[in-house]
Amino acid sequence: MDIGINLERIGAILERDMRKFFRSPALMVSSMVFPLMQLIVLGYAFGGKIKNIHVALVDEDRGAESRTLRENLKSIEAGPKTFYVSDYSSVPDAVTDLRAGFVRAVIHIPHDYSRRVLQHDRPRIAFIEDNTDNFVTSQLYERVQQLAASLNAPLIAGRLPAAIDMQVVEVYPYIEYIKYLLSGSIAMSIFIVAMIGGGIVFIDDKARGLHEGYLVTPIRKAELVLGLNLAGALKGVMAGLTITLIGGLIAGIDRLWEPLRLFYLLLVLSAASLAMISFMFLVMVRVTDPLVPRAIFGVLNTLLFFPSGAIYPSEGFPVWLKWISVVDPFTYAVHALKNLLLKNTGFEGIYFDVFVLLGFSVLLMSACIALFQRQI
């Protein structure tokens, strides 16, 4: 009786899985269609500047100063097109339409606006906003503040000898949202391969009794687990690399073809795939019902994808969500991929993530081998 692991048997399990994988394009296609679709739709839906917001204007002043203000508003309407303005005769009318959603904000110029401007008597305009939509109001608010600042500008300049001016240095050029999203889509394609190839197919084979055929042979638990994990990781790398290249072209990543960058990408994809597939096998190791992996697909997707920082930075998370992101292999994959794709960092930008992902893999696979049931 020999202890130790037989590489040939691991190879046999790997070969079986890969042959099945190449024979059925369904897995490869489904692991690519969803992440690409997500990349394109979310990338374009979230990426753009918001335009043509409808704003109500109630001008009770109709003086010289209010005319200046109106002209400023008109110039935004013509220029950046953030909003367009309709005149309303009374504030209650305008607020009624605001509540009904016909306008997103109301700008109210009180009857004494011009007089107060001329008398330097704290002139005020009111900005009433529909704050149920964060994205719209934040863009609108930004514009209105700019407007107010430009109205105040000559006054401030006259009063203060030197305004403090903060200079912002942007290290990288402006990143479009679709580029920001790409790392998440790549991780997603690996997740789908792990979920379908590692979860659903594994449990289906178990339920179909195919495993019984392998369990009667002298194969060891560790060999079976390693073989299945390696096959899953290999499939994950293939899907991930495909999305990296196709997605990279769609999002317009520059100099994607640098050999060293591709090598680092491959390294990250391998570590991420291994971690993701061993995570999945550990979840599935004792499951026998083919419905289970299908039922938890969405749960795992949400639990792993959104806390990873793929679509929103984790700095904005509450504490509990931060903790999920710490133990989520997605987080490290997305972080390393962002470094490579957005900033083209070298090894220094990924070694920590790769190290953590490989550590995860060893830990998860050991648990998997310990829990795997050799007998039925």
Partner 1 sequence: MNAIEVHKLTKRFGDFTAVNEVSFTVAEGEIFGLLGPNGAGKTTLIRMLTTLTPPTSGAARVGGHDIVHDADGVRHAIGVIPQALTSDPELTARENVLIHAKLYGVEKSRRASLTTELLAAVDLESFSNQLVRTFSGGMRRRLEIARGLVHSPRILFLDEPTTGLDPVSRTNVWEMIDRLQKRSGLTILLTTHYMDEADKLCERIAIVDHGKLVALDTPARLKDSIPGADVVEAEFANLPSGTPAWREWLEQLRQLPQAAQVSEQDGSVHITSHSGPETVAALMDRARARGISVKRVTVQGTTLDDVFLHYTGRQLRDALQAGPRLDVTHLYK
> How far apart are alpha carbons 228 and 190 in whole angstroms?
15
- The single residue among 175, 215, 246, 367 that binds partner 1, judged by CB under 8 A, is 215
129 φ/ψ angles, rounded to the nearest 5 degrees? -120, 155
Q: Does 286 bind partner 1 (CB under 8 A)?
A: no
Smallest distance, Å, CB 189 to partner 1? 22
Q: Who's near 177: CB < 8 A, 6+ residues apart?
A: 42, 43, 46, 47
Of 218 and 298, the one with the shorter C-beta distance to partner 1 is 218
168-177 contacts at long range (C-beta below 8 A, 24 or more positions apart): 172/342, 172/343, 175/342, 176/43, 176/47, 176/251, 176/252, 177/42, 177/43, 177/46, 177/47
- The single residue among 34, 177, 214, 297 that binds partner 1, judged by CB under 8 A, is 214
353 φ/ψ angles, rounded to the nearest 5 degrees? -60, -45
CB atoms near residue 241 (< 10 Å) = 19
Q: Does 210 bind partner 1 (CB under 8 A)?
A: yes
Q: Does 9 bind partner 1 (CB under 8 A)?
A: yes
> How far apart are alpha carbons 204 and 185 in whole angstroms?
26
Exposed / middle / buried, residue 279 (Cβ in 10 Å: 0-12, 13-18, 19+): buried
Q: Who's near 95: CB < 8 A, 6+ residues apart?
A: 106, 128
Of 218 and 313, the one with the shorter C-beta distance to partner 1 is 218
Smallest distance, Å, CB 183 to partner 1? 33
Helix orientation angle between 64-78 and 134-159, rounded to the nearest 10 degrees: 130
Q: Does 116 bind partner 1 (CB under 8 A)?
A: no
Q: Does 258 bind partner 1 (CB under 8 A)?
A: no
> How far apart are alpha carbons 11 and 57 in whole angstroms?
73
Q: Does 221 bind partner 1 (CB under 8 A)?
A: no
Smallest distance, Å, CB 27 to partner 1? 11
Of 171 and 376, the one with the shorter C-beta distance to partner 1 is 376
- The single residue among 172, 217, 255, 348 that binds partner 1, judged by CB under 8 A, is 217
> Looking at 58-66, 217-225, 282-290, 364-372, which segment touches partner 1 (CB under 8 A)?
217-225
Of 326 and 371, the one with the shorter C-beta distance to partner 1 is 371
Q: Does 342 bind partner 1 (CB under 8 A)?
A: no
Q: Does 235 bind partner 1 (CB under 8 A)?
A: no
How many residues belong to the site for partner 1 (CB under 8 A)?
27
Of 1 and 160, the one with the shorter C-beta distance to partner 1 is 1
- The single residue among 8, 71, 170, 315 that binds partner 1, judged by CB under 8 A, is 8
Question: Which two structure tokens, joined as six digits, stand for 81?
Answer: 């097109």
Q: Does 6 bind partner 1 (CB under 8 A)?
A: yes
> How far apart are alpha carbons 181 and 167 in whole angstroms?
28
Smallest distance, Å, CB 347 to partner 1? 37
Q: Does 25 bind partner 1 (CB under 8 A)?
A: no
Fill in the DSSP letter of residue 105: E
> Looking at 74-82, 164-172, 215-223, 360-368, which segment touches partner 1 (CB under 8 A)?
215-223
107 φ/ψ angles, rounded to the nearest 5 degrees? -110, 120
> How far apart are alpha carbons 283 and 273 in whole angstroms?
15
Q: Does 209 bind partner 1 (CB under 8 A)?
A: yes
Q: Return residues touching partner 1 (CB under 8 A).
A: 1, 6, 8-9, 11-13, 15-16, 19-20, 23-24, 208-219, 375-376
